Structure 1
Amino acid sequence: MSEMGDEVYQPDDSEVQDDAGVLEPEDTLVDRGLESAMDEGYSPPERPLAVERWGTTAAEQHARESLERRLAKELPDVVPGEGDGIGDQPQGDGEPFDDEVGTARAGRLVAPDEGAHSDTEKDLIGRDVGIDGAAASAEEAAVHIVEEPEGD
């Protein structure tokens, strides 16, 4: 057994390893059909940057910028609003009331035979057996009782 360890993890120098440096432009996959990379040119930004700012002239650089001017350029910290942003009312009681859903949570719906026997009823029938130890799945917990509107 060799002292250096397994040959899989200790490569020998029989393979020539190329330099992993920067490739020449003609060896890269970016070929735009130009003879030289310098033929492509440079497109400057559409608007000049910082030409109107303080400190571009020699007199302004010599005079230095005042602290008040520097502080006036700073952007204020954005403070997030109260609540989680999901329908919260700033002066209200939390989430807005939605009368289409109902307020009473339905319990677990169980078939009359509790799913243990063959189904002889052609209609889908179930009864509410209550919250059933609060072991409802997310889908079951989302079911609410909607009262029938009066006068219909």
Structure 2
Amino acid sequence: MADEQDQAESLDDDRVAGAYPPDRPLGVDAYGTTGSEERWDEPLPERVAREEPDELARALDEQGSLVAPDEGVHDDTDAEAVAYLAGGEDVGALDADDIATGDTTVRDVVQEREADVPAEEAAVHVVGDEPT
């Protein structure tokens, strides 16, 4: 029995790193530790006072703009302009009936080249009218 207990304890991954419990309590002075504070949200000015600035945002502000001021901003409303800006060759408009590629023959060829159909899928198929 003792061997089983030792083995079970050796499998525990719930090891606490560092000194626990900490030397001083954490979060005792934080909002929401009393019952009355839990019932109401923390006032916004207090929340804002506790916020810490985002280091990445500060670094980006110091670094400058990622886009040159003369490049301007392009709207993503015109599909042709968006496709042109993204690059690649112009393949023309897609067929409204085929949302995948616009060409039903491509889809048919791909399906024909797939591996054999599994037995479960082959057993479930649509059969024409049965003779009466």
> TM-score when scaled to structure 2?
0.29
Between structure 1 and structure 2, the one with the greater Rg is 1
| Structure with more relative contact order (C-alpha pairs < 8 Å, separation 6 or more) | 1
> TM-score when scaled to structure 1?
0.25
**Which has more helix, going by share of residues?**
2
**Which has more strand, going by share of residues?**
1
